[in-house]
Amino acid sequence: MLREEELKTFVEGTTRYFEVAAQQPATIGSPYLLEGETAMHDYTGMINVSGKREGVVYFTAPRAMLTVLLMKMQESDFSHESMRDLVGEVANTISGNARRDFGHDFVISVPSVFAGEKPQIPQPPGARSFVIPIHWRSHSAKLVVSLT
């Protein structure tokens, strides 16, 4: 079952992503245990985790935040496809970086992306879900880590 101290890996991964990719640090709020469902933003990128641990890691963000993030990356394409691409890449990068601490057997999938629809998030038995709030500029997003 995911332990609270293991969340540090994902908090650090999120911090690193915004610092390096957006060149502007995000503020990370206090993670909290998710009971039931959480509200999704406009775009969600989800990674399935298998191997030593099972579950999902997903990043959900509003279109406005993703637009500014793309601008900070000097992108000029703000299409629906770019938004989908970006949430998938953020989820992939943070999950992949987690292997630094979780090891090679923390196997991650390619991203699944949801937009404008309520995603079906699989919840393996025994998994605990934590929400990591992300505040960047005037926008808010979430990273949800749900692992056995």
Partner 1 sequence: MSSGTPLDRRPVKLLIVDDSNIVRRRIERSQQFDDLQVVGTAANGFEALELARRTDPDLVTMDLTMPQMDGIECITQLVKLKPALRILVISALADKATAVEAMERGANGFLNKPFSDRQLNEAIAELMY
* Binding site residues, partner 1, CB under 8 A: 16-17, 20-21, 70, 73-75, 77, 81-82, 85-86, 88-89, 92-100, 102-104, 106, 108-110
Residue placing its CB nearer to partner 1 in the complex, 99 or 128: 99
The minimum distance between CB 14 and partner 1, in angstroms, equals 11
Q: Provide the minimum distance between the beta carbon of 85 and partner 1 in the complex, in angstroms, as a whole number.
A: 5
Beta-carbon contacts of 34 under 8 Å, excluding residues fewer than 6 positions away, are: 129, 130, 131, 144, 146
The conformational region for residue 67 under phi > 0 = left, psi -120 to 50 = alpha, else beta, is alpha
CA distance 31 to 10: 10
Tell me which residue of 94, 33, 43, 91 sits closest to 67, measured CA to CA: 43
Of 5, 8, 10, which Cα lies nearest the Cα of 145?
10
Which is closer to partner 1, CB of 33 or CB of 71?
71
Closest to partner 1 by CB, 4 vs 105, is 105
Q: In angstroms, what is the minimal distance from the CB of 97 to partner 1?
A: 5
Rounded-to-integer distance, Cα 120 and Cα 88, Å: 16
**Of residues 37 and 105, the one with the C-beta less far from partner 1:** 105
Least spacing, CB of residue 50 vs partner 1, in Å: 13
